[in-house]
Amino acid sequence: MKPVMEIKKLTVDFGGLRAVDHLDLDVKEREILALIGPNGAGKTTLFNCITGIYAPSEGSVFISPPGGGTGTINGLTPNIITRKGITRTFQNIRLFPNMTVLENVMIGRHCRTRARIAGAVFRGKATEREEKATVEHSYHILEKIGISQYVNEFAGNLPYGAQRLLEIARALATEPFLLLLDEPAAGMNPQETGVLDALISKIRDEENIAILLIEHDMRLVMSISDRIAVMDYGKKIAEGTPEEIRNNPVVIKAYLGEEFVA
């Protein structure tokens, strides 16, 4: 399978601190690649760098989306990168709390729709049609994710687990070819994590989306990942199938700990 994103020698510095250190990573078509590592390893920083929130001090990110448009995305702004088909969720939930659940997802449709100011004021046929399609599409995503019962609630009033799911729904609305999930199971109970497990596999299978997943819940990681990459102090220290990673002595020492193997 060909890679949809190739990260080459990516480096991010914060003053004296090197949060990501010459990292190489490929994400292949329709795969679930998990990124694990101890706290402060630089996983979220890598996401921020891919999505254009931080600029790398070295290295490059090259994309080859299935729909065409290959090229590097270095130096592009976050909104352009999203439009090119890479989208993400946030470790600390960042919804729009005073907008409804449906509106949150509709915001995700923004970069795939085109109504402008004149369209909004005169509300012609084309705008009406687009608006209706946006509502329908967004609702459809909520149904698929399984939170359509909250459609008109304020996002800020949702239970924690549902907020995490809404972040995924909103990200899907942008029609990505690559979805970056930053600790989607954090704070979820085992039952919710089970639902999430099935959901992530379903997204990959039905939508033809590659998924790069940061997660500390090893049960989830081991059960759904095709491959796992391990980071420590900004460097990639291992990469392989769940089986290989589970038995890799370096990973056990740096992150998993002896008791995980036992």
Binding site for Mg ion (CB under 5 A): 44, 91
Choice between 149 and 241, CB closer to other proteins = 149
Task: Tell me which of ligand ATP, Mg ion, other proteins, none is bound by residue 136, counting a contact when its beta carbon lies within the kind-specific cut-off of 5 to 8 angstroms.
Answer: other proteins
Choice between 123 and 219, CB closer to other proteins = 123
Residues 104-163 touching other proteins, rule: CB under 8 A, are: 106-108, 110-113, 115-117, 119-121, 123, 127, 130-132, 134-136, 139, 148, 151-152, 154, 157
Task: Tell me which of other proteins, Mg ion, ligand ATP, none is bound by residue 107, counting a contact when its beta carbon lies within the kind-specific cut-off of 5 to 8 angstroms.
Answer: other proteins
- Positions that interact with ligand ATP (CB under 6 A): 14, 17, 19, 37, 39-45, 91
- The answer to the question of residue 75 lying near other proteins (CB under 8 A) is no
Q: What's the chain's Rg over C-alpha atoms?
A: 19
Task: Tell me which of ligand ATP, other proteins, Mg ion, none is bound by residue 19, counting a contact when its beta carbon lies within the kind-specific cut-off of 5 to 8 angstroms.
Answer: ligand ATP
Choice between 14 and 160, CB closer to ligand ATP = 14
Q: Please spell the DSSP secondary structure of the chain, one letter per residue.
A: --EEEEEEEEEEEETTEEEEEEEEEEEETT-EEEEE-STTSSHHHHHHHHTTSS--SEEEEEE--TTS--EE-TT--HHHHHHHTEEE--SS----TTSBHHHHHHHHGGGG----HHHHHH--HHHHHHHHHHHHHHHHHHHHHT-GGGTTSBGGGS-HHHHHHHHHHHHHTT--SEEEEESTTTT--HHHHHHHHHHHHHHHHHH--EEEEE-S-HHHHHHH-SEEEEEETTEEEEEE-HHHHHT-HHHIIIII-HHHH-
User: Minimum Å distance from CB 52 to other proteins?
Assistant: 8
Binding site for other proteins (CB under 8 A): 51, 53, 77-79, 82-83, 87-88, 90, 94-100, 102-103, 106-108, 110-113, 115-117, 119-121, 123, 127, 130-132, 134-136, 139, 148, 151-152, 154, 157, 170-171, 174
